[in-house]
Structure 1
Amino acid sequence: MASSKQFNVGVVGYGNEPQHVRQDLPHPLHQGHALAKAALDPAAQPKPNDSATADYPDLQHHTSLDTLLADPALDVVVLCTTPPTHFAFATQALEAGKHVFCEKPFVPTSAEAAALADLARAKGKLLCVYQNRRYDADFATVSQLIKEGTLGRIVEFETHFDRYKMEQPTNWKGTVPMEQGGGAVYDLGTHLVDQVYTLFGMPQTVYAKFVSQRQGKFYPGDGNVDPDSLTAYLYYPDAGLTAIVRIGVLSVEAQQPRFWIRGSKGSYTKKGLDTQEPQLKGGMTTSDAKFGHEGPEWAGKLALFGDNNVVSQRDLPNVEPPPTYAKIYEGFARALASGKEEDVPVPASQARDVLRIIEAVQESGKTGREVLISS
């Protein structure tokens, strides 16, 4: 059960991210503060009509992180600014004695993630990373299939974020360098790698290739290549498992691929992205009865090997009820109530491990070699 205690929450940043925070926050987390992004985050490009004060006149508003953190009533800071700011802002918030809930991608390096985890522990504060796609309905379905052994021993796990977007993003996803937490590997790859990590843990080795599909060039190349797509192989030799992470921006499909999983007893395929993000953008909230539900035309396909060498196939809808992004906030509220780091839904230590994998992916992409991840 969620705690009955309410916590005053300060949201640092304004735009799509804080609006989904406003919609997703469960009752035990009381959003009592707001902070304009433009004053703090030069890399951000808020829309001309974005105005926290106009949209939420009942909240307290600040144009300085210092004044926000000086408020003794503030319990939790939610960071919704761009990735290059996260380390400095999280450090300042923890030093001020505030709990921190940070948007993904967490920070650009695993060393920064480890430093923040140590600082939070030293200050007796909780630090959670918003890996919301652990709460996608299709991922919950995949997790259940694997946990219950329906597919047998998993030999290949393929996970995609493909779309068709010829134009490069003009926000941080397309303007912040990969080394500072920008680009496809941090924007989308963080989700995909985190899901693989959640299911299977740390891989032993990684092999990856980056490419700019928009430019038609591989990375690294002539020095002017901005990689927008990725194919990475994460190897688990002890399990005989290969996890394939795939990001593409020039995929013309009526139903984009999402999962393709092969096991010793069966296979599962799924198309289409989880519905929550477009639903939130369309104005739906997590309390809506239809939130998180998708139509029957998007059901996955489950194929099982049976008697007499017969393969049976059937549609497999997502689990019911579907999890929603509100679950990560509810989990964090419970952690705040207990004060226990082990109750944090996505602790910084796990985000650190995901970043170690991403760093190996980057190294492999740059060197062309398979990279060993040290234990």
Structure 2
Amino acid sequence: MVAKTWNVGVVGYGLSAKIFHIPFITAVPDFKLYAIVQRTPKPDDDAEKDFPGVKGYRSADDLVKDAEVDVVVITTAPDSHYALTKLALDAGKHVVVEKPFVPTYKEAEELVALAEKQNKLLAVYQNRRFDADYLTLSKLIKNGSLGRVVEYETHFDRHRPEAPVNSTSWKTKVIPASGAIYDLGTHLLDQAVHLFGLPQRVTAFIGSQREINPTGLEDSFTALLHYDNGLMVTAKAAVVSPEENQLRFWVRGDKGSFKKYHLDIQENQLRAGVRPGDSGYGLEPSDRYGVLTTIKDGKPSSETVPTVEGPTYVEYYRKLARALGGENVIPASGAEASQVIRLIELAKESSKLRKTLDLQKNEEKLGLKPTRIDSIEIPEALTPKRPSPDFPGFRASQSRAT
């Protein structure tokens, strides 16, 4: 039996489509880049010229009417994700949505239910599950090198104390699902939940570190995920961090710790024009490797740990192809992404109220029945619960939680 080739229609032709989706769609033989929606082509920015033979549409409404389209990939700003995802699902298409999934947990659950009703695959583009540093850390946790993990710090810090000027990106505008916790936090929280499952409580502080912030954009956050087994996850993104090497991971267990600087190399390579299959793509240089410290003969002993040669972001679309073919291997399901949005909303509420919030009590209060997800959980630990700390260095946002 001949394997099916899935026709893909991409909605949007900005950075996300050009850098994070089309190179990987075209790298997987199971997919054909069939159509692109670009509302206003320009002489120097025209999808039909860049990809001769690919159909061009001016609206998503026209795209989803095309019976030849199997999969719709939505790469537009997050405030449009709910409407466009619903449009595609109603039209009987499989859907991949850029992160952040949608602004609210209510919208996320509605789309998950609609996809199930339509018997269509709904995935969210959590490509950083395939960061090589994250895969290296995951390997160390799963093979027991760190022992019982009690603290997991995950950072996306940068030194950008001045607000962007004349930026047209949604990431710099105050719209639904904007701000650091939706933009960067989506990745950090997804990775943590993917490793450890959902926490029992959340404490967060969301606001601005910039001295001058005319738009009020929430440019920074710290979120603590409390687990009943004693694990504490700290997810953090900062814009005031004058470091030569930015911390990425610091994870501590009773047998060892792992510390890693620098972000995964793939994004910078993609922006520089390197593509999947090019020499060196996704391979981290040795001067960026992390350090594993373990106790030997009663003393700390450190060694450099080579970053794994991961499957790269191509693996997202490979897994997607297998899922479309009937395997239960969705690379990041809508149901999983819904839980990340649930955590973000709880974090925003925690920041507004300045208190730790309990997931179960919160969902009971709101009458929610969250979608169950599969995740990898660490063994039960006996570490005592920690008090919730204060968070100096931020100016709190006064905006209401979503």
Aligned AA (1:358): I
Match of 1:168 among 163, 172, 176: 163
Q: Residues 343 and 65 from structure 1, CA distance in 2 versus in 1: closer, same or farther, beyond 3 angstroms? A: same
RMSD of Structure 2 on Structure 1 (CA): 1.8
State the 1:167 CA deviation. 3.8
Q: Deviations over 1:154-192 (max 9, x none)?
A: 000000001112343421111033xx1111011100000
Amino acid at match of 1:266: G
Amino acid paired to 1:243: V
User: Displacement of 1:345 after TM fit?
Assistant: 1.3
- Deviation of the 1:37 alpha carbon: 4.6
Distance 2:226 2:134 in 1: 20
Residue equivalent to 1:194: 190
2-side partners of 1:373 and 1:168: how far apart?
Answer: 34
Distance 1:316 1:261, change over 3 A: same
Q: How far off its partner does 1:48 sit?
A: 8.6
Q: 1:313 aligns with which of 283, 286, 302?
A: 302
Structure 2: distance between partners of 1:22 and 1:283: 13
Find the residue that maps to 2:156 and give its secondary structure: strand
Instruction: Structure 2: state its 5+ residue gaps.
Output: 364-402
| Contact preservation (8 Å) 2:153, 2:234 | yes
Q: Please say if residues 35 and 61 of structure 1, whose CA atoms lie closer than 8 Å, have aligned partners that are also in contact.
A: yes
Q: CA deviation at 1:286?
A: 1.3
Q: 1:183 to 1:38 in 2, by over 3 A?
A: farther
Give the counterpart of 2:199 among 194, 198, 203.
203
Over the matched positions of the two proteins, sequence identity in percent amounts to 44
- Corresponding residue of 1:220: none
1:28 aligns with 2:30: yes
The one-letter code of the counterpart of 2:339 is D
Supply the distance in 2 between the matched residues of 1:140 and 1:295 (Cα, whole angstroms): 16
Instruction: Summarize deviations over 1:26-82 as a string: whole Å, max 9, x none.
Output: 11111111110559xxxxxxx994321232232100002121111111101000000
Contact 2:96 2:122 (C-alpha < 8 Å) held by counterparts = yes
Q: CA deviation at 1:322?
A: 1.7
Q: Aligned partners of 2:188 and 2:200: how far apart in 1?
A: 17
1:233-259: per-residue Cα shift (whole Å, max 9, x none)?
11002x211000110012111111000
Q: Tell me: CA distance 1:247–1:261, structure 2 relative to 1, closer, same or farther (3 Å).
A: same
TM-score (norm 1): 0.91
What residue number does 1:228 align with? 219
The alignment covers a number of residue pairs equal to 354
Shift of 1:111: 1.3
Contact 2:162 2:212 in 1 (8 A): no
Match for residue 333 of structure 2 among 347, 353, 373:
347
> How far apart, CA to CA, are the structure 2 residues paired with 1:70 and 1:141?
43
Provide the residue aligned with 1:370 in structure 2: 356
**Alignment partner of 1:149: what SS?**
coil
Equivalent residue for 2:312? 324
Looking at structure 1, the residues matched to 61 and 311 of structure 2 have their Cα atoms a distance apart, in angstroms, of: 36
Alignment correspondent of 2:180: 184
Structure 1 84/312 Cα, relative in aligned 2: closer, same or farther at 3 Å? same
Distance change (3 Å), C-alpha of 1:305 and 1:255: same
SS at match of 2:307: coil
Counting only pairs closer than 5 Å after superposition, residues 249-328 of structure 1 correspond to structure 2 as: 249-307=239-297, 309-319=298-308, 321-328=309-316
Measure the CA separation in 2 of the matches of 1:230 and 1:143: 24
Q: Is the contact between residue 15 and residue 50 of structure 1 (CA under 8 Å) also seen in structure 2?
A: no
Q: Decide whether the 8 Å contact of 1:12 with 1:37 is kept in 2.
A: no
Q: TM-score, normalised by structure 2?
A: 0.85
Structure 1 residue aligned with 2:373:
none
Say if 1:166 and 1:249, in contact at 8 Å, map to a contact too: yes
Structure 1 distance, partners of 2:315, 2:83, is 27
The structure 1 residue matched to 2:138, chosen from 139, 143, 162, is 143
What does residue 14 of structure 2 align with?
15
SS in 1 for 2:325: helix
Q: Distance in 1 between matches of 2:172 and 2:43?
A: 19
In 2, distance between residues paired with 1:82 and 1:282? 23
